[in-house]
Chain A
């Protein structure tokens, strides 16, 4: 197995390095989008297989990164649309919560991840690109081929909803 891997890695120059560099980014986008590790790994696998096929057409490291983010975003949206039949809880139906600051940050993070995964698809990918990948709205706009104002309004509405549902309200407190 180890020799096989070594041979493949040798036969695909730079691919193993790209995989090492970007696997966490691709996997995390899919995981935070779907909130399902197994489905996220499948999407990430498909994205890297596609990258392997298109590697010759990509011109630079930045191009690879841009391409990976775009393809992952599109695949995530497609997967979410295919899985519409799965029981999803719309964000509006999730009740507000009350917890003290610092009482349980892990709990808040998990709740936020769940809330993000319940956002509408376009808003969800915008939020992920903004807060996971730290992209500026103008970069998100280029990546998703979406008007800048639409990106901004998705972000604004998502923030308001998340703030309400996560219970972040008062200064220094989470109600």
Chain B
């Protein structure tokens, strides 16, 4: 074997040794495994939750639904009642205004008659 090929083989051995040292395995961060397991857990959850929500609604959801419905009905009724009351009040005010206007017209008419008699 020539000196040149021996030299090349030696260089290859050195670079191979240096590479094995440089490329030793390293561990990922400590959060790696917990993050991965949480990610897998999340991937397996949504399908189950979505299905069970429709088929077996939890009692908490039912109570919340009924309360929302009750609050909506009460709000609508209250709004109707408030509008009716406002309408009645407005009607009364219009009648009072008409009465006052009628009285003023009568007064004006009587004054006009008195002036024309004189």
Contacts and interface: CB of A to CB of B under 8 A. Distances in A.
Contacts of B40: 8, 12, 49, 52
B15 interface: yes
B22 interface: yes
Given A23-B27, A168-B11, A112 B22 contact: yes
Nearest to B37: A8
Contacts of B37: 4-5, 8-9, 16, 19
A41 B39 CA distance: 13
Interface in B1-56: 7, 10-12, 14-16, 18-29, 32-41, 43
Given A108-B18, A131-B20, A168-B14, A48 B26 contact: no
Nearest to B35: A45
A5 B15 contact: no
A92 to B, nearest CB: 17
Contacts of B32: 23, 27, 41, 44-45
A128 B20 CA distance: 9
Contacts of B27: 23-24, 27
A148 interface: no
Which bracket fits the contact residues of B? 20 to 34
Contacts of A134: 20
A166 interface: yes
A169 interface: yes
Size bracket of the A interface: 35 or more
A24 B26 CA distance: 6
A45 B39 contact: yes
A42 B73 CA distance: 51
A19 B29 CA distance: 13
Given A131-B20, A168-B11, A28 B25 contact: yes
Question: Chain A's interface: helix, strand, loop or mixed, by majority?
Answer: helix
A159 B12 contact: yes
Contacts of A112: 18-19, 22-23
A5 B39 CA distance: 11
Nearest to A127: B19
A20 B38 CA distance: 15
A132 B25 contact: yes
A25 interface: yes
Nearest to B43: A49
19 contacts: A5-B37, A8-B37, A12-B40, A16-B33, A24-B26, A28-B26, A37-B28, A45-B36, A108-B22, A112-B18, A116-B23, A128-B23, A131-B20, A132-B25, A159-B16, A162-B15, A166-B18, A168-B15, A169-B11
The 9 residue pairs across chains A and B that have the minimum distance between CB atoms: A109-B22, A112-B22, A27-B28, A131-B19, A132-B23, A28-B25, A24-B25, A163-B15, A8-B37
